[in-house]
A and B are shown apart, each in its own frame.
Chain A
Amino acid sequence: MYMNALKKILGMLFMLLSPVALFYLVKTALGEMQAHQSLDVYIQWSIFVLVFVPIIIGFFLFGWYSWKGEYNAKL
């Protein structure tokens, strides 16, 4: 019972953290690209953004499922 409530709260937290992580990722990538203007750095950070965006979306979805009670223990 308590665990289900905790999963619901954590689900909300994960959903809130996802856009924050996305913002931080893009901000860092743009900052690094501006600081080191070379094709090497552009490629590197573009790859990071490309691979982490789907992961962050997955984290949001994980939070959504948790909020909806998909991971709740069956009583």
Chain B
Amino acid sequence: MKTTATPHSSIWKIIGASSVGTLIEWYDFYIFGSLATVIADQFFPKTNPTAALLSTLATFAAGFIVRPFGALVFGRLGDLIGRKYTFLLTLVLMGGSTFAIGLIPGYESIGFLAPVLVLLLRLIQGLALGGEYGGAATYVAEHAPDHKRGFYTSWIQTTATLGLLLSLSVILITRQSLSPDPEISIQRFNEWGWRIPFWLSILLVVVSIYIRMKMHESPLFSKIKASGNLSKNPLKESFGKKDNLKMVLLALFGATMGQGVVWYTGQFYAQSFIETVCKIDFEQSRIILIWAIVAATPFFVIFGSWSDKVGRKWIMLIGMLLAVCTYRPIFNQFIQLSDVNNKTVIKEQALILKDTTFYENGQIMRQQTQIQSYTDGTTAKYVVEFVGEREPIATLKSKTLGTSSFVKMIVLLFLLVLYVTMVYGPIAAYLVEIFPTKIRYTSMSLPYHIGNGIFGGLTPFIALLTTTVYINDQLSGLWYPIIIAAICFVIGAIYMQNKFVEKD
């Protein structure tokens, strides 16, 4: 793959325009996931089985089926009509559907039409995401000089993480700013404020479309178009010819499969683990993730740039190997740091926040919300129920860690995101280099979205399923990413070449 040199100032405009659009697409995709519980209350009432079914479809179909399908549809378009117009189209589809989700009246107002519309728009989101990434990565790579391709494409790689950061920040800020009283603010957010992050998307998308409209077509694509060498059937050439299909399979089983599970474990499963298993408070768990992401994000560019010098292969594979070897000790530390049994209680008597007495089933019930403080600054919120003469039952609701444990938690999560930067930073350059220009968009998009959408996207589900089978081991959910990353490491180490083969 030989590219003609693009002027220094132009390449930064290209990276900026491509990255901002891709970042917005990730933002749009994540806010739905981050607000899944709120959205479910509004559109998918659990009491109605059909609505609950639509909810399952929205969750699983958008992530697993539609993303690879979008990769095929838009990849083909990108190889036929060009990169620029294709990833403009994906941006419009993504932004439009996100904005529209924020406008749909709830289930209580329009009944079944509400969940049906949400499902439809979520499917469009998945489809658009499937087409966006391959286009942006290909577009930047085709402008970048050969010796700096890893460095330039790594900016595109930061967008997935920064999109998550942006979505978390917008949600946290909106959640806290709807009233001076925190409780009322959260209540308002759950009622209608959740729509604001969706509406915000349209502003971001309009700006990004304006920037992208001014961009030119990729020079490599323009060259093969001018010479009449465009592929007539990119799907057939990508997956119907042995020479290309074998590289698609290698990219999937030797790179993207492991990269996908490392990414989803580091950024999504870890967040869910510290919130649901460690019981860290909603806001503090997100603040921990935000700090870890902020600290680790520069490493996407560092590893991307380094891959130009030492090759892509071993940086990605060492990231996978580190994940395989250290996941269990790191997640075990999460449990230890948040376990209140390892801490010293300050006062025997907890602070009572709320005390209510009521009648239920002919019995007097009393419920207290108590805050217990510990010497390291950690506080734990309990709900204690008193029923008749029985022993009171205390249920731990959430914990807020003291400074020392909080900082240690950020450092550990930083390590997990660092592994993400190792596997993800160089992968765009690796993928674009193993496929020829005329079918590059199609060929690289499919293994990427199978690796990330299916292998990665399934991580939280399979991890949860494993913990329900092996109930005595809270870390059993990690076996899925560990095994997949280990298989991928072995395949990658034996089959992948460190220096790319020039295809054009």
Q: A47-B65, A58-B253, A70-B242 are in contact. List 17 more A-B contacts (CB 8 A).
A: A3-B494, A6-B494, A7-B494, A7-B495, A10-B494, A39-B49, A39-B53, A43-B53, A43-B57, A44-B56, A51-B64, A51-B68, A52-B454, A55-B450, A58-B249, A62-B246, A66-B495
**In the complex, which residues 47-64 of chain A have their Cβ closer than 8 Å to any Cβ of chain B?**
47-48, 50-52, 55, 58-59, 61-62
B250 contact from A6, A38, A62, Cβ within 8 A: A62
In the complex, A39→B54 CA distance in Å? 11
How many residues in A have their beta carbons less than 8 Å from beta carbons of B?
Answer: 23
A61 contact from B68, B249, B450, B494, Cβ within 8 A: B249
| B241 to A: closest C-beta gap in Å | 12
Is B60 among interface residues, defined by CB-CB distance under 8 A? yes
Interface membership of chain A positions 1-35, coded 1 if the CB is closer than 8 angstroms to chain B and 0 otherwise: 00100110010000000000000000000000000
The interface of chain B, by Cβ under 8 A from chain A, is: 49, 52-53, 56-57, 60-61, 64-65, 68, 242, 245-246, 249-250, 252-253, 450, 454, 458, 494-495
The binding surface of chain A is classed by DSSP as: helix
The interface of chain A, by Cβ under 8 A from chain B, is: 3, 6-7, 10, 38-40, 43-44, 47-48, 50-52, 55, 58-59, 61-62, 65-66, 70-71
Interface centre among B57, B249, B494 (most CB of A within 10 A): B249
Residues of B with C-beta under 8 A to A52: 454
**Docked-complex contact A71 and B495, CB < 8 angstroms:** yes
| A54 to B: closest C-beta gap in Å | 9
B454 contact from A3, A7, A51, Cβ within 8 A: A51
In the complex, A61→B250 CA distance in Å? 11
Closest 3 CB pairs of A and B: A62-B249, A65-B246, A40-B56
- Name which residue of chain A comes closest to B490, CB basis: A10
| A8 to B: closest C-beta gap in Å | 11
**Docked-complex contact B494 and A70, CB < 8 angstroms:** no
In the complex, A40→B249 CA distance in Å? 32
Knowing A40-B56, A65-B242, A70-B242, say if A59 contacts B65 (CB, 8 Å). no
